Structure formats: structure tokens, C-alpha cells
Amino acid sequence: MRIAINGIGVAGPTLAYWLRLYGHKPVLFEKAPALRRGGYVVDFWGSGYDVADRMQLIPDLTSDGYIIKELRGVNRQGRTRTRLKVKALQDLTQGRFLTIARSDLAARIFAACDGIAAHFGCAIAELDDDGAGVDVTLTDGRRDRFDLVIGADGLHSHIRTLAFGPQRDFERRTGLAVAAFMLPGYRPRDELTYVQHTLPHRQLSRIALRNDQTLILCVFATEAALPHDLAGQKALIADIYAKTGWEAPAILSRLDRVDELYLDRVSQIRMPDWSRGRVALLGDAAACASLLAGEGTGLAMTEAYVLAGELHKASGDYRAAFAAYHDRMGNHLQRKQDAALKFSGFFVPRSWGALFLRDLATNLAAIPFLTRWLVGASLNLDFTLPAYQRP
Ligand SMILES: Cc1cc2nc3c(=O)[nH]c(=O)nc-3n(C[C@H](O)[C@H](O)[C@H](O)COP(=O)(O)OP(=O)(O)OC[C@H]3O[C@@H](n4cnc5c(N)ncnc54)[C@H](O)[C@@H]3O)c2cc1C
């Protein structure tokens, strides 16, 4: 089949890779003019790690990524309040756990799609599914026809809006927002350490990356609409973190020189099903679990692997394949989403009491025999990749 995939992030190119292997003809579309750079880092593990392994990507991902050693919580004066060795996570996952820039992960997956048609700065604008195929109008005005269309275009998926309706019908807001930006040459640096300062309703973290870059991550509670312009976004962050203590003054003083900033709501996408006729959704577009799950990239890759495998298994019966894809993944994704929501108060506590309990739990989790119990349960390593016959 000729299959259009909207979105060249993590899910889209993973799907393209497996579809080509099974003899289909995927065509990728991306609204950005090139692969997105910068952004934030992700923890990468679980079934997505297994998919990457089957794509022979692990050596490259390991060389691009980081094996973070410690999560350190500090108070207003910078003194350590909590310490968790990441080796515990490494042990629980048999060493199959790394931290990597989302953009580096996406770039390695895309590189594995060499030879697959990919259009940047050109996306699907309109769809018309007539039952026998899908007519597509592109943002540059061209038209094309495909057997299937897959929306892999992230949390704010345009394909979802076209085929299923407005985002508000499926979005579950967490009441949190996230901002991420890079500071070159920032000091102090703590190599391979995630340093985090938390107050009720807001968290500020830094992670030292290669090339003397430091990633700053801000997660905070807000119900207000977020500004779209860079100046408004910087003003919001400056306002929220004004009286935060720790290194906030030094970080905010450099905000002026930041020219790329990621800011978005922390939301989930919850849908009863992921397909309409010949159109289906994948990754964050279908079932965003949010950064609170710490596994969105791996889940997106797993969904892509399963969707491609089910299309192959169903020998062209896309209806059966879409149903089997949802049957296999739907409950699993919902459990991940539920667990992520429970983690929300842990990530950004809503009171001093909740912050105290969180720090206590983190320090308890650092005691080796409690690690498996407290941290291991939250990993939910309970999904085994189905085996699909290779052609
Ligand atoms: C701050 C933060 C921290 C996170 N931490 C982790 C973590 O630790 N571990 C983890 O695994 N995950 C983490 N995640 C989640 C993870 O990034 C996502 O779940 C994952 O990237 C989803 O992949 P995707 O391909 O579905 O979507 P995306 O990676 O968002 O890719 C979607 C692509 O579609 C493109 N696009 C958007 N609209 C259109 C359109 N209309 N037409 C064409 N193309 C379009 C976008 O430009 C993008 O390239 C985090 C997310 C955030 C925001």
C-alpha cells in the first residue's frame, strides 16, 4: 500500500521504517522546514528500547545519549535534600535505559529511513476518504491519493482534528505547563546529574549536556492560556520563577539571550479508538501520555512497530489491522496514562506538606532494598513486543 504519514518526529519515521520492511510504500510529510533540533532530553527505555534494538539503533543512541548517574534535589540555598542514584533504574532495566535529546533520537530514526520519500515544509492540509482511498491536499496546494493516511503529528495533531474533531474533545489537561531551553556556557555544571529545585506548584531543573550546553527545564502549575510569542513566553517564565531561589536569578538573567524556547501545556490525549476509515493515529497524536510518563518516545515507537506489524499480518485488510493495533495497545497506553497522572503531584507537589512527603519517599527509594519496590513498580515493564513474521 501507499501510505502517507504526517509528522517526522519519533512515531512517524519508526512507522515508515517498518512499513518499508514489509513491502509498503510510505511517504513522510513534516510541517517544519527540517528535522527539529534542540528541545529537551528524554529518558528512553522499555518496549521502545526493544524496538530501537530491532532497528539496530542502540549503538548510535548510546553514543549520542547520556547515562545519567544521579537525580539530585536541592533547596533554595543549593544544599542537597534528596539523592537518587540512577543506577537503580539501570539495574531494574538490565542496563536498557538511557537519556538522549529527543531531536537526536528522532534524527537517528529518520536516518534509518534513508531512501523513503520525505517532504519537509509540506504537510497534509485536507483529507477526503472516499472508502477506496484517501485524497489528500498538501499545504503547498498539490494533491495526491493514498491507500491509508497516518497522523503521527504529535500532541496537537492536525490529522486528528480533520478525522476525529477538535482537540478539546480528547485532551485531558494536567494543570501543568513545561518550558525548556538551552543555556550555553552556564555554570555551575554537574556532569551526568539531573539537578532539580522544587517548590509547591513549580520545579526548575538543569542538566549539563555536551558542547557546554545546559538544558533548563521548568514545569509549573497554571490553568491560564500560554503565550505564543517568544517575548511573552520569557515574561511568563520570569514571572513564575521570580522568587524561586536557588539558581533562578542566574538562569532568568540569561533568558534574554535565549532565541529558541519550547513551551506547552502538559496534556494527555485520550480517545476511545484511533482510526476512522482509512485514517489512523499514532504516538502522541493518538494517546499522548505526557512527560509525566517519562516514556512517550518509547511508547510512540512501540505503537509504530505494532501498527506496521498488524498491517503486515492482516495482508492488506486495514480494518482488521487498525482494530488489532488498538486491541494490543489501547489498555496498555491507558494504564501508562493513569500512572502518569498519579505521578503529577509527585513531579510538581501542590503544597509544602506534599513536597515534604515527596522528598521523604525519594530518600526512601534511594535505600537499595526499597528501590525495586518503590521505583520498579512505577516502570511497568510489562509489555512484550509481539513477533511479526519478516518477509
Ligand atoms: C519536556 C518534555 C519531556 C519529555 N520527557 C520524556 C521522557 O523522559 N521520555 C520519553 O520517552 N518521552 C518524553 N516526552 C514525551 C515525548 O517527547 C513524546 O511522547 C514523543 O516525542 C512523541 O512522539 P511523536 O512522534 O508522537 O510526536 P513528536 O515527537 O511531537 O513529533 C511530531 C512531529 O509532527 C510534526 N507536526 C506537528 N504538526 C504537524 C502538522 N500539522 N503537519 C505535519 N507535521 C506536523 C512536528 O513538527 C513533529 O516533528 C517528553 C515530552 C516533553 C514535552
529545585: which residue's cell? Answer: 197
Q: What pLDDT, on the 0 to 100 scale, is given for residue 90?
A: 84
Which pTM value belongs to this model?
0.96
Q: What pLDDT, on the 0 to 100 scale, is given for residue 179?
A: 97
- Ligand 1 atom showing the smallest separation from residue 35 Cα: 49
- CA 294–ligand 1 middle distance (angstroms): 12
Please write the tens of the pLDDT for every residue from 309-350. Answer: 999 999 989 999 999 999 999 999 999 999 999 888 888 999
pLDDT at 375 over 90: no
Contacts of 145 (CB under 8 A, 6+ apart): 2, 133, 134, 135, 136
- CA 191–ligand 1 middle distance (angstroms): 26
Q: How distant, in Å, are the alpha carbons of 287, 352, 353 from that of 200?
A: 28, 6, 9
The residue whose CB lies within 8 Å of the most ligand 1 atoms, and thus the one to mutate among 284, 303, 306, 307, is 284
Q: What pLDDT, on the 0 to 100 scale, is given for residue 374?
A: 67
Please write the tens of the pLDDT for every residue from 237-265. Answer: 999 999 899 999 999 999 999 999 999 99
- CA 153–ligand 1 middle distance (angstroms): 8
d(CA 205, CA 312): 43
d(CA 145, CA 200): 52
Contact 9, 34 (CB under 8 A): no
524561586: which residue's cell? Answer: 244
- CA 141–ligand 1 middle distance (angstroms): 26
325: nearest Cα among 295, 284, 281: 281
Instruction: Report phi then psi at 280, rounded to 5.
Output: -135, 160
Looking at ligand 1, which residue's alpha carbon is closest to its atom 14?
291
Looking at ligand 1, which residue's alpha carbon is closest to its atom 29?
9
Q: Are strands 148-151 and 279-281 parallel, antiparallel or unpaired?
A: parallel
In degrees, rounded to 5, the angle at the alpha carbon of residue 208 between the alpha carbons of residues 154 and 231 is: 55
Residue 108 grid coordinates: 537517528
- CA 369–ligand 1 middle distance (angstroms): 35
